[in-house]
Structure 1
Amino acid sequence: MKLKHTLFGLACLIFHSASFAQRNRYEVVLIDSILVESLEQIQITDFSPTKDRFLAYGTMTKKCMEVDRDGNIISEVDLTGEGPGHFGEGITQLGYFGDDIIINGPNVYFTYDENWNYKGRIVYTSGGAWLPLGMISGAPEVFIKGSIPQIVKPFDHTYFGSKKVSNNYFSTAKLIEIISKSNDEASYKIEYPKSSIYQSQTTFYNSHKAIISYNKSKNRLYLALPLEPVVYEYDVETFNRIESIPLNLVRFKEPQGIPFEDQHKNGRRGFGPTNQLNAVYAYTNSTIHKISSEGEVTIIEYQTGTEGNTGIKDIQEASQRAKKESETFTVFYKGMDKVAEVKKAYTRFVRIDEYHFLSHEINTEEELDYSKFYIYELKKVN
């Protein structure tokens, strides 16, 4: 991987505030880039610190590959179609699985050794989907317990709005499921916090699916709920909560929801029974989209939503208002302290280590014969 000073320089996005102690000042610095020669958009989904390689996915051909830090494709396989170890028409996740590789297809995980030799499959029944083309969600969250890899999967309790739940449902509902090839059935862990807005028995919030990140260095699971500015830290041996980290997020507001009895009222034709106000509030509410925790540093990406809680009921109007008013921030916490804040999203960012991450450049204006990625560092200001 070569530094491209002549092309990029050392761009930096600096956050500082008088309210922050001098010792807590950090900046997000662009330090490097990677070019992968390809006629299609390549998506990097995961990084292995032991192999010092990235996993990548062809968004058109659906080929799976490993890429080194210089952008060289080390290995490449086509696992589409039928047969053992083939995922059919599409996948949702691609990641490292201990020393192996794992792919998430609809309702099944496929596992491979480091040379892409098929090892087996893990079937789950909590609902799945795949995308025919385009980018996938990234890598599954995996931790090792007793030498056996465990998959942590957030639980969608309404199956994209098709299932109606009772007004006391979330008082006992679990946030995640643990899937392992050593067990035939998944186990369900972690209840919604008692102080959470999701414990309301009058208001239903459609955005209820946990956002998770496994911190390899600390062997901890970090979890956020989309509509609340809090990150929770859990022990993965017992799943007991260790810490709650309140987040200081600019323009993060109280969310809007619907009455429980209205879940399947006012639906949109062709979009199932779910109330179309859920789609409106997806635009107007403040929402955490992603967290990533490694070492002492946790990264949070969120949207602010529209200004104030409006009376908007039309999806098109909500979309237009959000385009004008909603902003995206990426916030960096070190322990309990916010140390940096940038008004932008780092597209499909992938964590490399505690202080470094990779982001995609997406070009929709012209056809290119390469995909470009940027490497950033969270750097302390002297």
Structure 2
Amino acid sequence: MRIEKVEIFPLLYKLTKPYGDANGYKKYRTCFLFKITTYSGIHGWGECIDWLPTLEKGFSERIIPYLLGKKATDRTHICGVIKKWHKRAAAGISMALTEIIAKSAGLSVCDLWGGKLRDSIPVYASFQSYSEEEDWLKHSLELIDQAVCRGFKMIKVKIGGRTLQEDQAHIHSVQRLLEEKIGLALDANQSYDAATARIWDRYFREWSNMLWFEEPIPMDQLADYKLLRSNLSIPVAGGENLKTTAQFLPLLKEGAIDIIQPDVMHVNGINEYRETVQLSRSFGVRSSPHSFDGPISRLYSLFVQACLPPWSKMDHEQIEPVEWDVMENPFTSLLSVQPTNGIVKIPDEIGIGAEIDMDKLKKYQWDGTIYH
């Protein structure tokens, strides 16, 4: 079970047209995959995000030399060392080593974790609502309509990147399209202050299909989150950029949030991610994972949800949805596991139960040039 080789696959795709959220526009999508193989021939896939030149140099000069010869079963120690150098790399390596361990035992990842409690997980269509075109609102509505036609029953739309009046006009148009028949979440990417966030509630009280209000204000404003949670008529969600279980504790202990949203690529590995999600159950709140960046991390988010006990005995048949990127991004389809009518079936095969599309890896291989 010792590691023989590590192959890296930095991928780059330049978007046809930029799109984005309140934080700005994306002109490209990147994905950094790697394959860890043991001397016995068992392999596992990992994934992380950062600027590709940084990751390529870091893996080639430091991480790969450190990994070679190590026992794949020493995942906790290995990831503990690597997270001191690069936390997101450690998170990805924890995925690859988890898959290797599951395969060596002849188990799926879910069975390795004690078995899944459900065979499928709902996903919601996640949009980057803004574009540089003057008719950005029309373009947004077209994308939403396409997702609804694909069978998605829930969507998430961005706000906070334009004036309050423009965003409200956008969401009113979205609601006319949806006819309040599709669940709708709004994500402000921490763009407002508490007073502005509360303005939205006059509309929330009129709409019956609202799922949650995501990160309306900066996540470090704990007192204002408590205030919003006590005043808003829909759930408050957030936490995608928090890096440790400990960072979620104040939000939960102070009753400042209804739904936590950890991201497996932003925390210190799959173990801490699972601990964070389980913590939500200890406090009786929901957990709807953030998973916009990559296909492997999204699959692990689905695995965790499949193994997660229900958040309430009053709603024991339901499980919170996982984010699904529906924007222009070929890396979303690197794995064969895809949603049908807004539902993803959890694979039963050993390991992650899916193979990477190697043709797409070759097609989108980064050529080493600087991008911006």
* TM-score class, shorter: under 0.3
Higher-helix-fraction structure: 2
Higher-strand-fraction structure: 1
Give TM-score scaled by structure 1 length: 0.25
| Structure with higher RCO (Cα < 8 A, 6+ apart) | 2
